A and B are shown apart, each in its own frame.
Chain A
Amino acid sequence: MLDRTLPGIQNLKHIVVLMMENRAFDHMLGALHATNPAIDGLVGSETNPDSTGVPVTVSPTAEYQSQLDPDPDHHFPAADLQIFGGVTTAQNPNRTPNMQGFVKSYFNQEANVGHSQLIMNYFTPQMLPCLTGLATEFAVFNRWFSSIPGPTLCNRAFAHWGTSFGQVSMDVFYWNKQYLSIYERLVAAGNTTRLYYYDEASSSLEVVNLLQNQPSLFGTFQDFLDACKNNQLTQYSFIEPNYTDHDAPDGSGELIACDQHPDHDVRAGEQFIATVYNAIRNNPNLWPNTAILVVYDEHGGIFDHVPPPSCTPDGFVAQPSATGTPDAFHFDRLGVRVPAILISPWVQRGSVINDVFEHASIPGTVTEYFIGQYDNRSPREKVANTFLQYLNLPTQRADSDCPTFS
């Protein structure tokens, strides 16, 4: 139960979630272990066998673009291989995650041994000044896992609905199911909320569900910036990055994707995260009253060393025809770990959070804070940890103690 006497909670008026695309924790933040051993990143000796059986060691040689082309497979069968190293339940009914199948999985796409080894690369902190700066200046989650060992849309569904309604793929049709999205819950309870997609040409990934049926919930990224500037930010905001390189619809220029999905340039996403942060940070009417969560939807097929834990079953079953493996999936295990950072001037600098979180924690947290008791939720969301208790400083950090980005 959230302690609402905490000064940071008493001041809290807005929650902003920015969900980026397809990068694993170790790939983006693993190098921080060297300077803060409390961060469960890389020691530098982690390996995966390649297709010839030779161990491939992690390497701090990730590049902003061009290494992860083709896009590493992260559909359910590939994620299963990555997590279990190729051991099937037929071979071992009691198999356990060993995180030994990432190189094998990437090899399966091009049969190129050398290229498959690139999946073990990670960034140095100097290459990601925004993400690593936020992680070290605020709170980083050691155990935020994607909700499903699978691709984007079913994982994002957990952030919107607290479940994927039994889906483990990109075919997502959730409208009129038994649970409401967090946005519908908030509106029905008299709260304000918006999903902000980048622009019309990028749009939302929630097209068949929320955009089709609840278009009034949506705004553009410019609308988000305007709302921040004009002190009209909704209580809950969910931001989607630009998913494609495209010409501006008004013909005025080129717009580069900032979602960090391979093989988009990671620097564009760094700048996008900084822009979202600065929009809050530089408004004294918002900064003390807003909690920002930066999180990635799933690992994108890229190496992470922490085995995903089991979890409360979600009440759904994906049959083998859906999983693409010999086994049904009971939504009783989380997906691969992803970067997640909680930002607020009420968060202790250098916090490292070790409790287990997943994307159902997002609607769980927002519901708990803005609505309170609410029973008609998925089993996963009901038991998901919530994260506002980390706004626990007795006094707000001084402006000079919180970074800005240029």
Chain B
Amino acid sequence: MDPIHVPGPPKEAFNKNRRVSDLIRAQVNHLKHIESKLPPNLFQGIPQHPIVTEDDAARYIAPMTRMLRARAAAAPQAATPSAGPTLVPPAAPPAPSTTSSARGLQLAASASNGKSASRRKGPATKSATSKPSPSTPKGKKR
């Protein structure tokens, strides 16, 4: 069976100045709820710009997510919910890194800029020890 080609979006599909949807607005509001409970030493690192566009939201969500994930690294024993047994961190998978997301950005769902997905440069091409699978669609940053 021949590989099925999946076309990507054109470059002009990207619009970080698009106004946030109700969904992103809700996500930001929930993070604001968390932020309101932060101790002053953590609060100081959180940007306070108005959030109108998707780019605005992303620039706020990223440091909040980093802060929440850093709490996991600092306190690997997770909170214990009242309704169940004591939790322990998942054992088998590698510990996620707060710096690895940047590599993940390269892999999927970026605008094709008119090029075939299979020709796009993925993160593995940046590695000296691995090559991307030729049948795995790779996004690329622009």
Q: Which A residues fall within an 8 A CB radius of B? A: 21, 64-65, 71, 75, 129-130, 133, 151-153, 170-172, 175-180, 184-185, 187-188, 192-194, 197-205, 207-208, 211-223, 225-227, 229-230, 232-235, 241-250, 252-258, 261, 263, 265, 267-272, 274-276, 278-279, 282, 376, 400-406
- A–B pairs, 21, beta carbons within 8 Å: A21-B23, A175-B81, A184-B81, A184-B87, A188-B85, A188-B86, A192-B93, A200-B61, A200-B63, A211-B65, A215-B68, A215-B71, A221-B101, A226-B100, A250-B105, A256-B111, A267-B13, A275-B137, A276-B108, A278-B137, A405-B135
Contact of A248 among B71, B102, B108 (CB under 8 A): B102
B82 at the interface (CB under 8 A from A): yes
**Nearest-CB distance from B33 to chain A (Å)?**
6
A258 to B13, CA, bound (A): 11
In this complex, what residue of B is CB-closest to A128? Answer: B6
Contact A199 B23 (CB under 8 A): no
A153 to B26, CA, bound (A): 9
Closest 7 CB pairs of A and B: A253-B141, A222-B104, A258-B109, A246-B58, A215-B72, A219-B96, A170-B26
Contact B136 A278 (CB under 8 A): yes
Known: A202-B61, A208-B34. A256 touches B13 (CB 8 A): yes
Contact B90 A194 (CB under 8 A): yes
Which bucket holds chain B's interface residue count?
A: 35 or more
Contact A406 B78 (CB under 8 A): no
**Nearest-CB distance from B61 to chain A (Å)?**
5
A272 to B83, CA, bound (A): 36
Contact B94 A247 (CB under 8 A): no
Contact A230 B134 (CB under 8 A): no
In this complex, what residue of B is CB-closest to A213? Answer: B79
A229 to B21, CA, bound (A): 34
Contact of A249 among B5, B34, B101 (CB under 8 A): B101
B47 at the interface (CB under 8 A from A): no
Return chain B residues, CB-CB under 8 Å to A185.
84
Contact B87 A252 (CB under 8 A): no
Known: A207-B31, A215-B69, A404-B1. A274 touches B6 (CB 8 A): yes
Contact A200 B98 (CB under 8 A): yes
**Nearest-CB distance from A55 to chain B (Å)?**
30
Contact A234 B76 (CB under 8 A): no
Return chain B residues, CB-CB under 8 Å to A193.
90
Contact B3 A245 (CB under 8 A): no
**Nearest-CB distance from B106 to chain A (Å)?**
8
Contact of B102 among A192, A252, A272 (CB under 8 A): A252
Known: A176-B81, A201-B59, A203-B27. A221 touches B13 (CB 8 A): no
Against A, the Cβ 8 Å flags (1 = close, 0 = not) of B129-142 are 01001111111111
Contact B91 A188 (CB under 8 A): no
**Nearest-CB distance from B39 to chain A (Å)?**
14
A244 to B65, CA, bound (A): 15
Known: A71-B21, A187-B88, A192-B92. A200 touches B62 (CB 8 A): yes
Contact B92 A232 (CB under 8 A): yes
Known: A242-B109, A405-B4. A222 touches B94 (CB 8 A): no
Please provide the chain B residues from 1 to 19 with a CB less than 8 Å away from any CB of chain A in the complex: 1, 3-9, 13-16, 18
